[in-house]
Amino acid sequence: MEIIVNFIKINWVEIVGAIFGLLYLYYEYKADLKMWPAGIIMSSFYTFVFIHATFYAFACINIYYILAGVYGWIKWHKAINTNSEENTDIGLCHAPTRLFLPLSIASIVIFGIIVFILQRYTDSQVVYGDSFVTTISIVAMWMLAQKYIEQWLLLIVINIVSVFLYLYQDLYPTSIMYLIYSIVSVFGYIKWRKMVTQINK
């Protein structure tokens, strides 16, 4: 019991962040507007966690998550039919194929920039892993704000890679959270596909 208490004392910020992360995932799975405030709170806690763990790129990206969360919150709020009990009128859709090439090019450029910054100006121990997860996360968050269901496919990749990265950095509550994320992301993609089909009927 004493070991557990000490673990909580040392890792309470990470644990709280993980709890809000799971809430965020739950609401995202349901395509519920509440995912945005949950995500903003989660990112606030994880900014501190990632700085402490020398995940500098991912720490910085959490600031982007906070700003993107505000943007997404406003954008989704305008789209939701407030008279409906079910959040089905939010405009979920497939990403246009014309976006694939520009998003791929943008991802390569962003990845190169982040790798350069981390190698040159930080003591990061996971330069390429941090850069990869951060780059794909930027794209996925933008796609989420646009309501593209393919953002789940990016999240599946991000979450699986993140499990191993956070285990490597001894961030056990976070690695467990991302393991759960990996599983739920698969079901999230399936659920959103069904919601798009229902909306288009």
pLDDT for the residue numbered 9:
44
pLDDT for the residue numbered 200:
63
Confidence of residue 80 (pLDDT cuts 50, 70, 90): low
DSSP reduced 3-state for 93: strand
Residue 93 sits at φ, ψ, to 5 deg, of: -160, 170
Residue 54 sits at φ, ψ, to 5 deg, of: 65, 25
Determine the Cα–Cα distance for residues 192 and 2; give it in Å rounded to an integer: 43
Do 146 and 182 meet the contact criterion of CB atoms below 8 Å apart?
no
pLDDT for the residue numbered 65:
84
Residue 139 has pLDDT above 90, yes or no: yes
Those residues with Cβ within 8 angstroms of residue 82's Cβ, 6 or more apart along the chain or in another chain: none
The token pair that represents 180 in the structure block: 């759960």
**Mean pLDDT to the nearest integer, 40-50:** 87
Confidence of residue 62 (pLDDT cuts 50, 70, 90): confident
The token pair that represents 167 in the structure block: 């285990």
Residue 34 has pLDDT above 50, yes or no: yes
**Mean pLDDT to the nearest integer, 167-182:** 82
pLDDT for the residue numbered 90:
63
**Mean pLDDT to the nearest integer, 169-181:** 81
Instruction: Please say whether the dihedral angle defined by the alpha carbons of residues 181, 184, 186 and 192, taken in this order, is positive or negative.
Output: negative
pLDDT for the residue numbered 38:
93
pLDDT for the residue numbered 3:
42
Confidence of residue 47 (pLDDT cuts 50, 70, 90): confident
Residue 124 sits at φ, ψ, to 5 deg, of: -55, 135
DSSP structure class, residue 195: H
pLDDT for the residue numbered 199:
63
pLDDT for the residue numbered 140:
92
Structural domain boundaries in the chain: 2-81+94-200
The token pair that represents 1 in the structure block: 């019991």
According to the per-residue pLDDT averaged within each range, which of 110-114, 178-182, 196-200 is highest?
Answer: 110-114
pLDDT for the residue numbered 149:
93
Residue 49 sits at φ, ψ, to 5 deg, of: -60, -45
Confidence of residue 186 (pLDDT cuts 50, 70, 90): very high
- Which ranges of the chain does DSSP label H, i.e. alpha helix? 2-29, 35-52, 56-79, 100-121, 127-145, 151-168, 172-200
